[in-house]
Amino acid sequence: MIAESNAPGSLPGEFELIARYFAPIASAFPGALGLKDDVALLDLTPGHRMAATTDAVVAGVHFLPDDPPELIAKKLVRVNVSDLAAKGAKPLACLLALALPRSTTPAWLDAFAKGLAEDCAAFAMPLVGGDTTATDGPLTLALTAMGEVPEGQVPLRSGARIGDRIFVSGTIGDGALGLDVAKGGLGELAAPLRDHLLRRYRLPEPRIGLGLALRGLIHAAIDVSDGLVADLGHICAASGVGAEIQAAMVPMSDAAQMALARDPTRLAQVLTGGDDYELLFAADPSQSDRIVEAGIAVGVPVTGIGFIVAPPPEGATRVKIGDQVAVETILRFAGYKHF
Amino acid sequence: MIAESNAPGSLPGEFELIARYFAPIASAFPGALGLKDDVALLDLTPGHRMAATTDAVVAGVHFLPDDPPELIAKKLVRVNVSDLAAKGAKPLACLLALALPRSTTPAWLDAFAKGLAEDCAAFAMPLVGGDTTATDGPLTLALTAMGEVPEGQVPLRSGARIGDRIFVSGTIGDGALGLDVAKGGLGELAAPLRDHLLRRYRLPEPRIGLGLALRGLIHAAIDVSDGLVADLGHICAASGVGAEIQAAMVPMSDAAQMALARDPTRLAQVLTGGDDYELLFAADPSQSDRIVEAGIAVGVPVTGIGFIVAPPPEGATRVKIGDQVAVETILRFAGYKHF
């Protein structure tokens, strides 16, 4: 370690910090070893594989430094859990790496740990390990989530087949519109609608229950994080197929429908905006009834929005608005790039 | 995502960046799914548990921004692998979260990926997943390493018993002295000795082979990252015991011995400095011969340095220098605190 920077600040040392804020979240899971050993120990149910994913977020890039700490923690948990949900995985455990600015206060950590604890409990995904360090830069967090899936039942991005029906869970577009609300936009909407969109953006609902209910029923799946069109494109690219969806079939919340009624050009934002964390999947059409029933059983509506087709020459994903094929480039305006 | 910061910089987009620099490191492992799916899929050997650990490093805190990128990658891999080694785990796979400054160059990434690939291959721990994001702050990296251990054979920190002999692998003190060399110190030593110390600091050798060879032979283990005295203290605290070691028995490299010959007060630095990444473990004394033979078999010397004792009232770890018990507080000067 290069810099022996021992700035006292307002925080306790690393060991005490872990003991005070994070060990309580791990206490119920024996394999966490109280966050006091070199590793955590996890077991897989026989006949299962481990699904592992990691996501990093940075203050100023993925959230604002003064966002509520509980929500920062919860969104980080949820974007990772959503990746597990897309593969039909049951969450097992998570590890968290925190790079904390030296100005971090105990009150901030209290609130962050509270949000983390609540969501680890909500998704039955105990915190089992982690690392805490100081940084001279913005708050940076990386969560690794692990789950388990039955062997041979993982709906990979590469599993879509021509003729499959394309489904999506919940409603699409709320994430991107909610981001606009967070930035002070969409003032033309009534407050309850704005609140709905903001909440959907800040606190997505990963579809773990639906992912489990769809085990064995579907061929390919992804969660909608980059945007419906882009994520469908990921499935098409991985599967070597094309897709055709009807814009009119894409399910939207009342708030999103109202936003579109005020400004129809927002359709592109709905279809290409990210951060919805709904499940997008392809399945044999003969499974449609069972899939819709699976959604009803877990309380998450599922909507058929199109079909997997042979790869069209002009690009993988065709979005039809009525009889018109929307020009894909128009739909790409909202694409987010880190670099 | 709050900031739609699309600074072009010199780097490709996230997908291309992953495809160009990181997917090749994952290509040999089917469960990585080419880094193109939402999760990686891993299997455990029946009768085994998964051991998981995560470590984060930040430029300016754990390394200097202009350190060689290969070495930054390798040290990050190695500090994680060392945690697996301490538990006798065989590495399985790793996931990497990178927060890259926008000024990161392709040449830097080339070198970083090369170092990462070499060490993932060296430790048979393929990269199976990750996340890449931009940051306005310093380069920040978090690696999650996963391995497997046979059920019932994990040497936890909490397993030490009174009467156990305490062993350490390799040599102690090179990490802390190497840090001094990195800062321009220890000019009184010959260049080859300084090089040795610097290399030991920059490129530790996690003792995976020894950890595997010690399976079933030892009661408790830890890797020496915080410093010999502090890490022995962690075992004592977790096990509810005390420890007594003889400073004269602690194995040192020629370079460390020469540094001590020039300045005997450096003994405290050797005993309390961190970053050695050797294994420190406790075992029944009747296993001593088998333990030493295990070390010989894998080419890593193992040295008995003391015994586990009943917890002494004045603190867990007693370091004896000749017949004198060194005052523990003297030995703590090198303790590194993040906050």
Please determine, for residue B338, whether its predicted confidence score (pLDDT) is greater than 80. Answer: no
pLDDT tens column, B230-244: 999 999 999 999 999
Q: Token pair 């894998």 is at which residue? A: B298
β-pair partners for A168: A280, A303
Q: How far is CA B324 from each of CA A12, B308, B309, rounded to the nearest angstrom?
A: 33, 18, 17
In what order do the strands lie in the sheet containing B279-283?
A: B220-223, B279-283, B165-169, B302-309, B242-246, B317-321, B324-325
Of residues B41, B129, B274, nearest to A1 (C-beta): B274
Q: Are B133 and B231 contacting, i.e. CB atoms less than 8 angstroms apart?
A: no
* Radius of gyration from C-alpha coordinates of chain B: 21
Domain limits, chain A: 14-150, 157-332
Q: A323 to chain B, minimum CA–CA distance in Å?
A: 32
User: Looking at the complex, does the CB of residue A12 fall below 8 Å from at least one CB of chain B?
Assistant: yes
Contact B54 A274 (CB under 8 A): no
B184: its two tokens: 């321009």
| Sign, CA torsion A53/A58/A61/A67 | positive
What DSSP element (H or E) covers B283? Answer: strand B279-283
B291: its two tokens: 């333990």
Angle at CA of residue B83, ends B81 and B87, nearest 5°? 110
Q: What share of chain B is helix, strand, coil (3-state, %, to 5)?
A: 40, 25, 35
Contact A5 B37 (CB under 8 A): no
| Chain B, nearest residue to A135 by Cα | B58
Give the pLDDT mean for B165-182.
96
The confidence score (pLDDT) of residue B291 equals 98
Give the pLDDT mean for A37-66.
94
Give the pLDDT mean for B44-51.
96
Q: Which residues of B touch A38 (CB under 8 A)?
A: 53, 83-84, 86-87, 157, 222-223
By residue count, chain B amounts to 339
The confidence score (pLDDT) of residue B15 equals 79
Residues B112-134 as b or e (16 or more Cβ within 10 Å = b): bbbbbbebbeebebbbbbbbbbb
Residue A261, judged by CB atoms within 10 A of its CB (0-12, 13-18, 19+), counts as exposed
pLDDT tens column, A111-127: 999 999 999 999 999 99
Interface test with B, best of A2, A10, A39, A131 (most B CBs within 10 A): A39
- How far is it, in rounded angstroms, from Cα A177 to Cα A275? 10
| End-to-end alpha carbon distance in chain A | 29
How crowded is the C-beta side of A117, counted as CA atoms within 13 Å?
15
Angle at CA of residue B320, ends B318 and B325, nearest 5°? 70
The confidence score (pLDDT) of residue A55 equals 95
- How far is it, in rounded angstroms, from Cα B262 to Cα B240? 38
pLDDT confidence of B16, banded at 50, 70, 90? confident
How crowded is the C-beta side of B184, counted as CA atoms within 13 Å?
0
Q: Which residues of A touch B157 (CB under 8 A)?
A: 33, 36-38
User: Looking at the complex, does the CB of residue A132 fall below 8 Å from at least one CB of chain B?
Assistant: yes
Please determine, for residue A152, whether its predicted confidence score (pLDDT) is greater than 50. Answer: yes
What's the fold here for domain B14-150?
60s Ribosomal Protein L30; Chain: A; (3.30.1330)
Interface test with A, best of B15, B39, B79 (most A CBs within 10 A): B39
**Homologous superfamily in CATH for domain B157-332:** PurM-like C-terminal domain (3.90.650.10)
Q: B148 to chain A, minimum CA–CA distance in Å?
A: 9
B180: its two tokens: 């001094």
How many other CB atoms sit within 10 Å of the CB of residue A296?
A: 12
| Chain A, nearest residue to B276 by Cα | A1
290-329 of B, contacting A, C-beta below 8 A: none
Give the pLDDT mean for A209-217.
98
Strand pairing category for A40-42 and A90-101:
unpaired
| Chain B, nearest residue to A58 by Cα | B135
Residue A262, judged by CB atoms within 10 A of its CB (0-12, 13-18, 19+), counts as exposed
User: Looking at the complex, does the CB of residue A236 fall below 8 Å from at least one CB of chain B?
Assistant: no
pLDDT confidence of A326, banded at 50, 70, 90? low
Give the pLDDT mean for A64-83.
95
pLDDT tens column, B296-314: 999 999 999 999 999 877 6
